[in-house]
Chains A and B, each alone.
With several copies, the nearest count.
Chain A
């Protein structure tokens, strides 16, 4: 095990896959000469040259579509978005092309593309720059969506994503790029897409949380433990396909569920997980399922407002307690 930053784990994943497979290339704004807006691709231009580490103009729709075409022709593009906020101008390419071309062609075409970049709130950036896109893209069959919370998962899952033959959306976080963690140094470390990770076990309540929210959930669980409440924390890691089974198994034991997700609430993935679990665990639930999300307004800029807007450890503790009628 080596301790790596999240960005380094991503870089290692890309680098290893590019070394083993010539068809993998990286394309996006500032990925090459600038070494990446968030330095994820630092040094990769030097290693792989401008044919494989490719700077683009600010044309997300154009280069996403370009990546899709290249993927259909057998390449394995990694498209970096500076953040997922900027994919709204490429929405049609992702939803109408990446997700549907295989189906519409009756299985003739495959689209082995990875799209990746920072997602969700990233501090005081205002409403245009604080979107969580899970709700938008997870609604779309044909896509797979991964959102890891730590460097180890990031590496193993990004390698899996690059090798996957279907379009994979990989959600990172600007605020986590510097996060350090132990990363496996197995020679070929690939994790399965669609498998949740049970991060902590407890009998009183189940908390599901991915990406940044995972850390809130863990902090809340520690705090709850001090108050005598033992929580199971599940990091789904993959949003689509969602590992419902793992949550069901846990809720059958704890009888209580809280979902933490920093997306907007209405039709977000917290609702989806909640819906599936109320169906699967109807007889096991001892309390309504709770969700902790961003507030249902656009993201504000002011420090105190954006803090109040984001889901918090306190919100999570309060929600868990509500499920326990505490």
Chain B
């Protein structure tokens, strides 16, 4: 388990508070309250940051069985092979529009999903295949969506950027950078409102943190004690812009501080690290330990191996950088772990690889054979109300 530096968070008053007791006392003047004589007497709060990195987890220390690890491994591989095949199909023009691959980030999706409840809502950006598959979307319906077919997860209406599988509590797939962040906080808000013990997870990129929507949503989450993990997948680039070139300060961990939110920094290339972090954070967020719901700001440090989308010449990074990152490949690392700890043999793993490949090929066949949506379906799903009057 990661070492943590939990500290008592600053006292604050909830928005939905009793009318009478508006004890506005000292907070805004806190900075001055400490001493009348300038900086000498003032010490700012220490940022509350937990590091989930190099914790030395084993699957046993995390309470995972060999089967669990193999299932996770299999799913990571599925995400990888699914996308490799999708890229190929994009080349063959079976898939159109934008296609953003998650390759390299599979430990994040997989660790997060395995560490949380299947009913915990998940919402993310357009780089959404990995999380969808981790959450149990079938490769068939995912691939059919990419092909724009009626059996796609969004009936061919969403495409790569707008995967949805509400039955799996996977709520998209959102194309506007940062736009899903308040929505994700609202999902956690609903859990708190209903008292259902859920913990929402909203994922977004290092580029999206620069949207105003992040700031507003993070503050609301903190103010209302929303059970939500606000997760930036820092893969170091937003298209061709590195984090350093997008931020006044590249240390994203700082971004939880102004809201009084605990920040977690997680090694996103290490499946167990992600799993361990998310299990602890989600449980604390849902109040499993103390009955108190709360949000966390989570920076997962990961890396995108492919271009931003299919048309990215990637001049913004060096070959050396990419080579050096390959050594951290979360799938290879997990494979090594499995072999070292003899959770499976190389032939077992080859077998898994074959299965996964076959599943993805079957998905391609399925997608090929699924019909195009009937043109009449274009007018469906705009409103719940079925007899809604349209002007054509």
**Closest A residue, CB atoms, query B207:** A58
In Å, the complex CA distance between A126 and B193 comes to 32
Once the chains bind, are B181 and A65 in contact (CB under 8 Å)? yes
A25 in contact with B193 given A34-B239, A57-B247, A69-B187 (CB within 8 Å): yes
B-facing residues in A95-130 (Cβ within 8 Å): 96-97, 101-110, 112, 123-129
Interface residues of A in 272-310 (CB under 8 A from B): 276, 295-298, 300-305, 308-309
A219 within 8 A of B: no
- The number of A-B residue pairs with CB atoms under 8 Å apart is 314
* Residues of chain B lying within 8 A (CB to CB) of residue A303: 96, 148, 372
- With contact pairs A57-B247, A70-B193, A103-B381 given, residues A308 and B157 touching in the complex (Cβ less than 8 Å): no
Contacts of A32-57 to chain B: CB distance below 8 A = 32-34, 37, 45-46, 49-51, 53-57
Known A126-B158, A297-B390; contact A108-B166, beta-carbon cutoff 8 A: yes
CB-defined contacts of A93 to chain B, threshold 8 Å: 179, 182-183, 213
Nearest Cβ distance between residue A3 and chain B, in whole angstroms? 24
- Tell whether, in the assembled complex, residue B179 and residue A65 are in contact, meaning their CB atoms are under 8 Å apart: yes
Chain A residue numbers with a CB within 8 Å of B185 are: 62, 65-66, 69
Interface readout for B142-186 with A: 1 if CB under 8 Å, 0 if not? Answer: 000100110011111111011011110001111111111111111
In the assembled complex, how far is the CB of residue B195 from the closest CB belonging to chain A, in whole angstroms? 10
For chain A, the count of residues having a C-beta within 8 Å of the partner chain is 84
Given A57-B241, A105-B166, A97 contacting B183 (CB threshold 8 A): yes
| Given A62-B212, A68-B186, A96-B179, A109-B223 contact (CB < 8 Å) | no
Do A104 and B157 touch (CB < 8 A)?
yes
The interface residues of chain B lying within 8 Å CB-to-CB of A296 are: 390-392
Given contacts A62-B182, A70-B190, contact A34 B316 (CB under 8 A): yes
Docked Cα-Cα span, A45 to B315, in Å, equals: 14
Nearest residue (CB) in A for B243 is: A57
User: Are A58 and B177 within 8 A (Cβ)?
Assistant: yes
Q: For B121, what are the chain A residues with a Cβ–Cβ distance below 8 Å?
A: 73
Q: List 19 A-B contacts (CB under 8 A).
A: A33-B315, A57-B207, A58-B210, A61-B216, A65-B179, A65-B185, A65-B213, A66-B182, A69-B187, A89-B211, A97-B176, A105-B158, A126-B175, A127-B157, A164-B385, A166-B383, A194-B389, A297-B378, A300-B378
